[in-house]
Amino acid sequence: MLKAKRSRNAIAKGFIFTLFSLSFITVSYAATAPLVCKDISQLKIIGELEYVSVIPETLRQKARIDTGAQTSSMGIMDSLFFERDGQKWVRFHVKDKIKNLVVEFERPLKRIAKIKRHQAEATERPVVELKIKLGQIELLREFTLADRSQFKYPILIGRNVLNNKFLVNVGQKFSSSQIKEYEQ
């Protein structure tokens, strides 16, 4: 009986130590994470779906906002790699579902990203920089290029766009268009 009590006490002490250690590690990590936006009131609130414009091509598409995705992604129809001035470039076409036409893009290739997918093999995708407008904010950010034809929304906005600029209210949709961004 005495041995059983000691075992339970040892287990309880070990559990408490483990909880303390984990909370310390979490706090330490959080304390070292960069905090650029110190005033949350400076962040723009957007919904789970928003319109995004790509500049200067004036392509406007519906986008799904995904806080779980690190990098944003643009749906393309095709791509062709080529070289210009000793640098690798990619030419790609995007279907403008709003105007019902095809828009051609040419951008320098930034890198090839390895994309991990749940319960599937990793794939490689080209990455380019795109200047986008979300609400009244213009940003130059990296986008992977992928066939998103099986998805409802041709653009996926990830944390690389959202970070320190936007808060997401999943109960809203197309809230950035309410601020008269698209008077063109």
Q: What is the pLDDT of residue 9?
A: 54
Residues 6+ apart with CB under 8 A from 101: 95
Residue with the two structure tokens 């920089």: 129
pLDDT at position 119, please?
A: 82
The predicted structure's pLDDT at residue 40: 86
Q: How high is the pLDDT of residue 118?
A: 79
Reported pTM: 0.75
In the predicted model, residues of the chain with pLDDT beneath 50 are: 2, 11-33, 179-184
Round to whole Å and give the CA distance between 68 and 74. Answer: 16
Whether residue 124 contacts residue 137, with contact meaning beta carbons closer than 8 Å, is answered with no
For residue 177, the model assigns a pLDDT of 67
3-state secondary structure of 86: coil
